[in-house]
Amino acid sequence: MNTRSTDTAWELLGSVRPRALVEARLQLHHVLQVPQSYSRSLLLPRDDDSQANLGWSAPHAALVTHPVEDKRVGLCFRDSTLLFLDGEREVSRFELPGHTLDDAVEWLRSHMGRNVAAHLRDTPFGIPKHPVEDDEPLDLEVADAAELGLWFANAWLVLDEAARGAPDAGLVRCWPHHFDLATLIVLAGDGGEESRTVGAGLSPGDTSYTEPYFYVAPWPYPEADDLPPAPGDGHWHTKDFTAAVLPSSQIVSLGDAAAQAAGVREFLGDAIEACRSLAARAEA
């Protein structure tokens, strides 16, 4: 369950340069496969693999799994730990720096109390390579992980607002193979590949951008010549995928927390409206 966005406020970003977050992002992407495998192991599979996605818990500053008998596993960015929760109560935490993924798996096994898949962190999707997957100890800079967590916390705040303002939007969830936090707005269809949709989210960075970025992506992708002017302070990205993109370096440059939040809200609102208009023109 997500904590409602009124429980928190935008926190100032930029204490760590956005492009310096790559190493924390790569390591935490692998760490995230440990909690996601908790719900993957214990919940019935769904066609879209959504049993393995995660929500945001503002009180714990963590991405958290779907509950299994009210128990959840979370990744807390603020202090680089894994959490085992019973309801909202913290039962146990596991400090990540200096430990291996196998150590984390064994910690989780000790709390599950039942037989599960042999490799808890297995995922059917490929994720970026990193030495930690070969059992090298995690070497996380706590300040970098905490800053990355602020990007997720702020993203959940504004994306949840956008989703609650759109009756055709789904919940804001983190998809562990992409490590992005997003909502899907279904304009026509059932949300499958043949539907018309708008995806709005935050990516912590990927092969296209070395820094976190907000995106709003229409589906099916329109032709580049059909795109309207770029929304807010963002730009249109058209290589490999089509989306309005607002990079984190642009957000940090806006100034204080209020200006950062206003800039992202303006971008999301304008970009979602632009994608809705693109879909309406395609259907006309």
- CA-closest candidate to residue 91, choices 104, 82, 102: 82
Q: What is the mean pLDDT of residues 2-8?
A: 47
Q: Is the pLDDT of residue 126 over 90?
A: no
169-227 residue pLDDT tens:
999 999 999 999 999 999 987 767 778 899 999 999 999 999 999 999 999 999 999 99
> How many angstroms separate the Cα of 229 from the Cα of each of 6, 191, 220, 260?
32, 27, 19, 21
CA contacts within 13 A on the Cβ side of 76: 21
Q: What is the mean pLDDT of residues 273-281?
A: 88
Taking a C-beta distance cutoff of 8 angstroms, is the pair 90, 63 a contact? no
Residue 107: how many other CB atoms lie within 10 Å: 18
Q: What is the pLDDT of residue 139?
A: 96
Q: Which residues pair with 54 in a beta bridge?
A: 65, 174
Alpha helix ranges (H) inside 127-256 = 142-164, 248-252
Average pLDDT score, the chain: 91
In b/e form, how buried is each residue of 252-264, taking b as 16+ CB within 10 angstroms?
bebeeeeebbebb
Joined together, the tokens standing for residue 17 give 């340069």
21-65 residue pLDDT tens:
999 999 999 999 999 989 888 888 898 889 999 999 999 999 999
Q: What is the pLDDT of residue 3?
A: 41
pLDDT-derived band at 115 (thresholds 50, 70, 90) equals low
